């Protein structure tokens, strides 16, 4: 049985993003892993009960997912609603789903307050990036699931080849 990869559902083109669209990742490695039956799509924000479309959200104050999990920061929608609980709930469900499916690794889209693993936005809704993990990516890492961003396909391919 090939090792499975939990992938952000929007990277498979599923229309789950805040704007009601997907963000399909077109790459021969993705096609190969699909054909090998390795990819398992999941959207933590939908799993946490948020609607689609939904107002964009960011982690406040230049903090990141680890700060949210430690109670030092909240996740706020652009219109002011506090969506922290839905983000944490969805992230926990994503970790449980990854375990059920036997995924030791996750391929998550960067920049998202849930799925980001290299950078996220700083809470000012001004497009300002800073290094950090989204809530789901932080939970995955705490659970021992190795997270790769959509900019790290080659590193993930090396990891998969070593584990196969
Ligand atoms: Fe994509 Fe993750 Fe946002 Fe869902 S939570 S739309 S999978 S980036």
CB atoms under 10 Å from CB of 162, counted, come to 7
43 Cβ inside 6 Å of ligand 1: yes
35 CA → ligand 1 middle, Å? 22
Residue with the smallest CA separation from ligand 1 atom 4 is 43
114 CA → ligand 1 middle, Å? 7
Domain boundaries defined on the chain: 4-163
pLDDT score recorded for residue 164: 74
With H, G, I as helix, E, B as strand and everything else as coil, classify residue 43.
Answer: coil
Q: What is the pLDDT of residues 39-82, one digit of tens each?
A: 999 999 999 999 999 999 999 999 999 999 999 999 999 999 99
Residue 3 has pLDDT above 90, yes or no: no
Q: Which residues of 105-117 are buried (b: 16+ CB within 10 A; e: fewer)?
A: bbbbbbbbbbbbb
pLDDT score recorded for residue 151: 97
The set of residues, in sequence order, having a beta carbon less than 8 Å from that of 9 and lying 6+ positions away, is 16, 22, 41, 42, 43, 46
14 Cβ inside 6 Å of ligand 1: no
Residue with the smallest CA separation from ligand 1 atom 6 is 17
111 CA → ligand 1 middle, Å? 10
* Structural tokens at position 125: 């809704």
117 Cβ inside 6 Å of ligand 1: no
Tell whether pTM > 0.80. yes
Residue 28 has pLDDT above 70, yes or no: yes
Q: By 3-state DSSP, what share of the chain in percent is helix, strand and coil, each rounded to 5?
A: 35, 20, 45
Question: For the residues 79-91, what does the mean pLDDT come to?
Answer: 97
Contact between 117 and 147 (Cβ < 8 Å): yes
Cα angle, residue 146 at apex, residues 98 and 70 outer, rounded to 5°: 85
Residue 119 pairs in a beta bridge with: 131
pLDDT score recorded for residue 106: 98
Q: What is the pLDDT of residues 92-139, one digit of tens each?
A: 999 999 999 999 999 999 999 999 999 999 999 999 999 999 999 999
pLDDT band for position 1 (50/70/90)? low
């Amino acid at each position: 049985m090939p090792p499975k990869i939990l992938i952000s559902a929007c990277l498979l083109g599923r229309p789950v993003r805040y704007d009601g669209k997907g963000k399909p990742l077109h790459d021969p490695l993705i096609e190969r892993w699909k054909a090998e039956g390795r990819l398992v799509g999941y959207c933590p924000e939908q799993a946490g009960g948020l609607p689609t479309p939904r107002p964009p959200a960011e982690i406040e104050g230049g903090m990141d997912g680890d700060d949210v999990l430690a109670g030092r920061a909240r996740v706020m929608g652009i219109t002011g609603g506090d969506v922290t609980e839905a983000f944490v709930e969805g992230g926990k469900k994503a970790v449980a789903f990854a375990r059920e499916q036997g995924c030791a690794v996750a391929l998550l889209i960067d920049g998202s307050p849930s799925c980001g693993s290299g950078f996220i936005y700083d809470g000012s809704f001004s497009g300002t990036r800073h290094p950090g993990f989204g809530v789901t990516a932080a939970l995955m890492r705490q659970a021992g699931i190795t997270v790769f961003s959509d900019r790290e396909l080659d590193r993930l391919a090396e990891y998969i080849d070593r584990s196969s």
